Structures are given as C-alpha cells and as structure tokens.
Structure 1
Amino acid sequence: MTDGIYTLANDVVYDQLVALLNSIEVNVGKEIPVCVIAYDNRVDRVRAEIANRENVTLLDDVNLFARWEDFSKRVWAAHPTALKTWQEQGIPGVNRIGMNRRYCAFDADSPFERFIYLDADIVVMDSLKIIFDKLNENDFVVYDFQYKSPNHIFNLQSPKLLELVDKNRLSTEIFCAGMYAGKRGLFPQEQRDWLVSKLEEGEAEILFMPAPNQSVLNYMTMRGEIPVYNLALRLPDDQKTGNAVTSSHFEARDNILYDRGKRLTYLHYIGLSSKLFSRISEGENIDFPYRDIFLHYRYLHEPEKRPKFITKPTPYNQAPSLAKRVLKKIGFTS
C-alpha cells in the first residue's frame, strides 16, 4: 500500500512550502513520498526547489486538474448568487478555483493509495502515524476544531441545511480543508455527477461562499454519507492537542511545539497572509505567533540565509497609523 503526503503550492507560497517540506523531512522522514500539486502555472521556484529532493514530485498535469475544475464550475453554477457576486467583485468564474486541484488526490489514477493532505502554511511537528493508523479503519480522517464554527463551512441561514444534514453530524463532522486524510477512489465521477444534480435541485444554497473549496468538500462528505473521523473529538483529553496559530499557549522546545506538555502533530498558520512569510523571509522584521518555528524550518538547510534582525519588530497585525489611513483613503497608498 502506497502512503504519501500531498500539498498545494505555487511560487507565491514558496517560503511556506520550503518550511513544510523541511518539517516533513525532520519529523516524518525523508522516505515518505510528497507530491506538490501546482495551484497554477507559477511554479518555477517550486520546481527548482523540489529538484533537489528525492522524495518530492510536482504534479502539474492540467488534464488531471480539468475534471475537478469542471466539477467546481458546475457546483457553483448551481448556486443562486455565487458567480454573479464574484463577477461583481472582479473575480472571473469560480473564486480560487486552483484550490480544487487538490482533490485529484481522490482520483483512481492518483499516486497514493492513502494520503494526508496538508496546506502549505503548515509545519509538521510529529510523525503523522496517528493519522495514517486511523485510515486503517476509516476512509476520511481529520484533526481540527472547525466543528466549533460551522458558520465558516455552511450557510447556517439556509432553511434547507438541517433538512439535508443531520444536526449531530453538523456538530461533529465539520472540518477544516487545510488538513485531512483520505483514500484513492473516494469520490468517483458517478458520485460527483450525483452531487451536482442535488446541488442543481436547490441544495447549493447551503454552501458557504467565502470558503468555496472547504464548503464543497464538507458537502461532499456529508451528502456522500462518508463518515468523518475527527481525532480532536475522539482522542482522550490527555492526548489531544490544538494545532492553530491562534492558540497562544503552545510551548517551544527544540523547535517542536507542545500543548500543556503534549507534542503537537502539526501547526497551521491559518489566517496569516502568505505575503507575511515572504516579507519576513526577505528580511523585514515582522513579529507573528511562532515566528521562530517557521524560520527554523524555512532555513533548516541554509541557516546562513536566515534573516538577522537588528531593528525592533513590527507586530503583524499592527493597525496602520492615522496618516497612512488618510493617505490610503485619498488614494496615495495601496
């Protein structure tokens, strides 16, 4: 059985991708195969980076992506307002359609029989064995706390939602699409066609437009009757940990984070702009949570290039000054 790790990237998230790949190398191992799925055609730096890594490949076959991009277009064409709203915002077609390329991991001709998908803004802290082990008994495994915020997955104002989704599943099987584990062949073409037909019958109104790919994947597991096994709900309290950068209590020891003494499986820098990681990698002294963890893994193999900061750090979420706000308002700054 072939196990592997997928991620999705382009040159915009290059620095985050390097940190992710280095963290996998150190904390999972050099042997596990990793496949980087091209978000779009901006992958020159990505291609050069993975050329030096024996276990890492790049998947940039537009023919493989086409079937999922077509699926995404059909899904959102069924939505009552999505395409019109995005067009008014200057977005042609489906918003962030490249995100849907990750779902080619489910195709029957994909490289890995069982896989873990990780967003590029993740740093792996442990072996991932706990997740692969659960795939022995489950088809779909996650480890996050998104179930506490279903309003970021589905349109909770839709009267159809509780007609289509069991209330208990809504409170226990919601997940973040930044990390999940699954199996090849889980969503065959016939099932995708059936899902689209249900959306076209009016079910599309339950989808959450601001997180299009995440909402759709949750819909696919819910309506496809695929149980979602969430370690955050199943593990004993003395074993589970958090994993989001928004948690401020993690402790760092030897470049690993611990949650009240328990080693994290992964850290997700969710909500932080990719521009932030590019700017700090270019030497701009910006402070953000667990910055040193990112910098350690980003420059693991080239410590001499790690930025050396001499100025006082600027908080990443610092509000702009009044002068800057005024200049922006009148169009003198972007």
Structure 2
Amino acid sequence: MSRGIYITANDRVIDQTIALLNSIRLYDQDTPIVLIPYDDNYLEIAKLLKESYSVQVYEDLEFIDRLSKQLYQIFGEGFFARPNQFRKQACWFGPFDEFIYIDTDIVVFDKIAKTMDYFKDNDFICYDYQHKGGITNVFSSQVIAENVFSQEELQDMFNGGFWGSKKGLISEEILYDTFAECAAHPEYFDFSQKTSDQPIINYMILKRIPNRFNIVRRVGGAPGSWAGSKHFQRQGEQIIDPNVNQPLEYLHWAGIRIQPGCAYWDIWKRYRYLNETMPDDESLRTPTQKSQIQQLKEKVKRWRMNVLS
C-alpha cells in the first residue's frame, strides 16, 4: 500500500511552492510527493523540487494532457477561467494507492500525511469548514430546488485545495460521464468567483463516493484553516482556533493574494525563507503594491502642501 502527496505547480508559483514544500519537509522528510505540472512552463520548478525536496514529476505527462483536454472540451472552449486546474484529476491514476492533494497556497504545521490514517474507515477525506458558508462558490440554489442533493449531502461540500482519496475509485469513464452531467446542467453550479474545478469535483464526490469524511467532524472537533478567518488567535508561533482550542494543522490563503500586508504574511514568509536570509518586505512588494504606496505618498504630500499653503 503506497501513500503520497500530489501538488500542481508551474514556474509562476515558485515562491508559493517553496513555502509549501518547506513546511511539509520540516515535519516529514519521507512521504513521497509528486508534481503534476500545471502547464508546460514547469522545468525550473521541477528541477528545484527534485533537488531540494525529492519531489518527482508525474510520470505520464501525455495522459495528463489528454485527460485535461478531454475534460475541458466536454464543457466547450472558453467556459472555464482556469481549465488547467482539471489536470489535478490525474491524482486518481498516479502511483499512490492512497493520496492527498494540496494546493500551493497552503503551509502545514504538522506531519500532514498522517491525515491519510483516516482512510482506514473512509474512501474520501477533506479538512475544512467550506460547508459552513453555505453553497456559495460551489452550487446554485437549483440543486436544492431540484433535489439534486439533500441538505445532509450538502454538508459534505469541501474546498478543492485540500482533499484525499484512493486510487481506482474514480475511472476515466466516471470522470467523463460526471463532466458530461455537469455540462448538461451548468445552472447547478456557482462559477461566479471563477472557481473552475471546485464545483465539479464537489458534484463528482457527492455523487460517486458515499464513504466520505470531513476531518473537522472528528471526535473533539478540529481547527479551521482559512487565512481569512477572523477568530484565530496567536500563541507564540502557533495559531489557535479558540472554537476547539486546538492549533491549526495547516493554513490556506484561498482567495487571498499572498503578499506583504496580507493575513498571516509573517507565517508564510517564515516558511518561504526557511534556512535562507530573510529579505525585507519592501523588496518583496509587487509592482501593484509599490504603485499604490507611491500614490498614497503623493496624496499625503499634496495634502500637506494644501494645509501649509
């Protein structure tokens, strides 16, 4: 029985990927990790990850390309904002019998591979409170009006940035059939926030894999993970979820641009530059940030001149 972690990345998200891998390897040097290239622009990140973190590239790249193009074509060109996100569906056919998938806008605070111990009794796992926010960013109210899913089933909605399952539970045929069902009913989904794959994979899991488990429902509860949450508390270098009085096991900047000044920037920066010289924030600001700061300085300067004149 083989276990491992899948990620998707390209050369445009090198910094995020380094932060994620630094955090994973800090707590776990052994669990194998496989990179599913987000697109053809991945050679630099692949070389770095192999040399520094023993990450291997998904072996059958032709399969990934064929699979993602077929899934994309089912809906038609131009329907999805980020169709390459469907490349992560190659997880179902890779080398691991049991796996977790992790987005690169995440850092972990523990040996995250231990979440796969839940596969002893479950076929699919996730670890978030997406369901607490209602069906937004996943489904439209049509799934309720037409009884596509029960209210109980909708409590199993999840964020597509962290989930896991078992090889062989989803076949190519199931993938194509599920996408065809979804393409026939686009009114079932909420794509307003350009969440390309999240609505579709939620539909597929709720329809095809009944033995599901959200780790936040474990005995004693479990902490949240979204960096946009306002109730977390800092205790030294730990982040605590006071609702369950437990430290976070991972932090996810879903929908948040990771840059100086963002939520928990210092946490992300610490993992990104682990064992490196820590640069100052000013050198890490994006051109947009620098432009906004300059505009603010000029505005303050004009205000002072008006006051003094």
Residue equivalent to 1:11: 11
Q: Take 1:294 and 1:236, find their aligned partners in 2: how far apart are those partners?
A: 28
1:281 matched to which residue of 2?
A: none
Change in Cα spacing, 1:159 to 1:37, as seen in structure 2 (3 Å) is closer
1:40/1:250 Cα in 2 relative to 1: closer, same or farther (>3 Å)? farther
2:152 paired with 1:152: no
The one-character-per-residue Cα deviations of 1:108-137 (angstroms, maximum 9, x if unpaired) are: xx1111111100000011112552111111
Structure 1 unmatched ranges of 5 or more: 78-82, 84-91, 277-285, 325-334
The answer to whether the 8 A contact 2:143-2:149 is kept is: no
SS, match of residue 147 in structure 2? helix
1:112 maps to amino acid: F
Q: Does 1:181 align with 2:128?
A: no
Percent of residue pairs bearing the same amino acid type: 27
Report the 3-state secondary structure (helix = DSSP H, G, I; strand = E; otherwise coil) of the residue aligned with 2:197. helix
In 1: Cα distance, 2:233 partner to 2:41 partner: 35
- The residue number in structure 1 matching 2:2 is 2
Match of 2:92 in 1: 106
Whether the aligned pair in 1 keeps the contact of 2:8 and 2:38 (CA below 8 Å) is yes
1:55 and 2:29 aligned:
no
Aligned residue for 1:258? 240
Look up the SS of the partner of 1:36 in the other structure.
strand
C-alpha distance in structure 2 between counterparts of 1:60 and 1:5, whole Å: 14
In 2: Cα distance, 1:252 partner to 1:58 partner: 37
Tell me the distance in 2 between the aligned counterparts of 1:114 and 1:216: 21
Structure 1 CA distance for aligned equivalents of residues 89 and 32 of structure 2? 18
CA shift, 1:309, in A, is 4.5
1:23 aligns to 2:6 (yes or no): no
Deviation (angstroms), 1:198: 3.2
Q: Tell whether the 8 Å contact from 2:11 to 2:45 is kept in structure 1 after alignment.
A: yes
Amino acid at match of 1:257: I
- Relative to the length of structure 1, the TM-score reads 0.77
Check whether the contact 1:221–1:227 (CA below 8 A) recurs between aligned residues: no
CA distance in 1, matches of 2:254, 2:247: 19
Equivalent AA in structure 2 for residue 222 of structure 1 = L
Query: C-alpha deviations, 1:126-158, integer Å up to 9, x for none?
Result: 1125521111111100010111231210122x2
Per the alignment, residue 132 of structure 1 pairs with 116
Q: Deviations over 1:23-53 (max 9, x none)?
A: 00112x1111111211111223302311313
Q: Residue 191 of structure 1 aligns with which residue?
A: 174
In structure 1, distance between residues paired with 2:129 and 2:45: 31
Q: State how far apart, in whole Å, the 2-side matches of 1:57 and 1:159 are.
A: 40
Structure 1's 45 and 272: CA in aligned 2 closer, same or farther, altered over 3 A? farther
Query: Displacement of 1:288 after TM fit?
Result: 1.7
What is the match of residue 304 of structure 2? none
Label 1:122 to 1:68 Cα distance change in 2 as closer, same or farther (>3 A).
Answer: same
Deviation sequence 1:198-253 (CA, Å, 0-9, x none): 345x434212223220011001112224343111233424xx11111012423153
TM-score by length of 2: 0.83
Over 3 Å counting, the alpha-carbon distance change for 1:256 and 1:22 in structure 2 is farther
Distance in structure 2 (CA, Å) of the matches to 1:53 and 1:318: 32
1:99, CA displacement in angstroms? 0.6
RMSD: 2.9
Q: What do residues 306-329 of structure 1 show as CA deviations (whole Å, max 9, x unaligned)?
A: 212479x99x999969x79xxxxx
2:44 equivalent in structure 1: 45
How much does 1:21 deviate?
Answer: 0.3
Describe the SS at the equivalent of 2:152: helix
Distance in 1 separating the partners of 2:12 and 2:69: 24
Matched position secondary structure for 1:117: strand
Aligned residues: 288
Is 2:227 the partner of 1:245? yes
